[in-house]
Chain A
């Protein structure tokens, strides 16, 4: 099992660094001959993806009159930002802040405690650690959404119902198994000699963890942080069940209630869709490679 995990890690690492460029080129020229049907299919799929995106963006720039009067796929004759203005007036800045708080408040602790646990699982030994590792692996196979009812009960009993903390705690717990798995794969890849030399220099395991393992696993940490971050950012069930105050809505929940209230004003609803996606779109533009690597979290082997 450990050899398999190791090879996975290597692949995940090259993936996240975008290294296999040369292999890609050689392979590409070969695959290039599938061109005609492949190319056609590629363009058709592009249309399927782009049409909805295009529709959402242009409609969000239309006036109500433009929406009812123009061809739905025509560019707006008098583009307007008033929809965006009304979305921002509907507290979207607040929803954005809530989403940011919940995402950071979940991802940072998740990565930190998962990293510590992974280090112990890889570097330590003993029955206890084996048991812990086995439990996290089991956690991967369980659809944790199915535990929403007891979580709701616990959050009420802890007096945390309708708070942002209520969203963070289960998000952290749900994210731990996969995060530990990926991070321990990476730590396992660090050559043993490096650990030995740290030890000979008189460093404690605690120091070794922060000074050696942490810097060396940085790519994996970025990867899992992005993966978990997107899941929390886009999460819907936890906020739906565990909060109720309008001031505590996160973006997906805000979107949903907004479309309920503004169902007559489709351009404004679609402006809210665009606005809620904008932060991630910016990330996509800045660090596409890293974001995509983070999205698959090393699944692409």
Chain B
């Protein structure tokens, strides 16, 4: 592919047929039709539909009737909503605080070249292979006070009624989420660390900076965009921890782990109140969009592409 061959005649042809080229380029639009069709029918229309359904009453089987603002008033007056909102944000923030430092350090650790680190990394990533349902079921068995980890390790403090006491269940949910998702973010940080130019460390060494200094002055700043990408995925992803919590606690005990997504499901498909459930869904969409925009702004305008990719 020599330049001489491709540029000279290429530009001549381009000049002659520039109008033709334009047409050719515009004609490509039809290639997007299949993807557009699926996206419009099963994503855009449902998105509009969820807003419309929030103004109706429907039990999931019978006819759909108009309900005006009734659902909105009843949901906004329901303390259950604020409980779910609070829990969603609590789990989001605590999960971020727990997972980010662990993932970052593990990412730096596994980016090292020692053999044993590579071997450890292979095992670290195992939770990525499991479905949320499998993880939740495994942990339920593991936490059995008599036949689980507590007895196995001889650590009686582990023998708690993890799923029966509200604050324990909440802590458990946060732990299991970390267990499941830290590997993913470790992988992201590992990739980020490997992108840092080696020359930066060489220069720092010549200047006599120690490892800790290097970590805070090179690794951490260089990982800025990785941190934003990972955090965006973590925060927006936390809105959809539905399946793990559903299988692990079912939202209980009481409503102590009933996050928004679960609240939506239980109102809609258990209590058969699709109208109020749609209100919750609209709130979820708004929170998701707001968080995405906020985090995107945090990353700066020029990084728009990668920020969006992080969603």
Q: What is the interface of chain A, defined by CB distance below 8 A to chain B? A: 1-2, 4-5, 8, 11, 15, 20, 23-34, 38, 41-43, 45-46, 48-53, 55-56, 59, 67-68, 71-74, 109, 113-114, 116-117, 119-121, 123-126, 128-129, 132, 135-137, 139-154, 169-170, 172-174, 176-178, 180-182, 191, 193-194, 196-197, 199-200, 205, 209, 233-234, 236-237, 240-241, 251-253, 255-256, 259, 266, 269-270, 273, 276-277, 280-281, 284, 288, 292, 295-296, 298-301
Contact = CB atoms under 8 A, between A and B. Distances in A.
Interface stretch (B79-87, B89-97, B299-307): B299-307
B28 A150 contact: no
A154 B49 contact: yes
Given A252-B133, A300-B191, A125 B138 contact: no
Contact of A149 (B128, B179, B226, B278): B278
A109 B205 CA distance: 51
A182 B43 CA distance: 19
Nearest to B10: A196
Contacts of B144: 266
Contacts of A298: 309
Contact of A51 (B109, B149, B264): B149
Nearest to B154: A71
Given A140-B308, A252-B243, 16 more contacts: A4-B306, A28-B114, A48-B179, A51-B149, A56-B142, A73-B153, A142-B285, A142-B288, A146-B264, A149-B278, A149-B281, A150-B53, A173-B41, A205-B28, A277-B131, A295-B125
B129 A280 contact: yes
- Identify the interface centre among B192, B285, B293: most chain A CB within 10 Å of its CB: B285
Interface of B: 1, 3, 5-7, 9-10, 13, 22, 24-32, 34-36, 38-39, 41-47, 49-50, 52-53, 58, 60, 102, 105-106, 108-109, 111-114, 117, 120, 122-134, 137-142, 144, 147-149, 151-153, 179, 183-184, 187-196, 198, 201, 205, 211-212, 214-215, 225-226, 229-230, 233, 236, 239-240, 242-243, 246-247, 261, 264-265, 268-269, 274, 277-278, 281-282, 284-285, 288-289, 292-293, 302-306, 308-311
Contacts of B302: 1, 4
Given A205-B24, A241-B269, A113 B142 contact: no
24 contacts: A23-B198, A25-B113, A28-B112, A30-B205, A31-B108, A31-B193, A59-B141, A72-B151, A109-B38, A116-B31, A124-B28, A140-B309, A140-B311, A142-B47, A144-B43, A149-B53, A170-B42, A174-B43, A197-B6, A200-B9, A236-B246, A292-B187, A299-B233, A301-B225
Given A24-B194, A146-B264, A193-B3, A116 B34 contact: yes
A188 to B, nearest CB: 11
Contacts of A50: 123, 126
Contacts of A55: 138, 141-142, 148-149, 152
Nearest to B229: A299
Given A141-B288, A266-B144, A117 B31 contact: yes
Given A30-B201, A32-B114, A123-B28, A299 B284 contact: no
A275 B193 CA distance: 35
A41 B109 contact: yes
Contacts of B152: 55, 71-74
A121 B247 CA distance: 41
Nearest to A169: B42
B109 A301 contact: no
Majority secondary structure of chain A interface residues (helix, strand, loop or mixed): helix
Given A149-B50, A149-B268, A135 B44 contact: yes
B148 A234 contact: no
Contacts of B303: 4
A205 to B, nearest CB: 6
B53 A153 contact: yes
Contact of B39 (A32, A124, A139): A139
Nearest to A53: B126
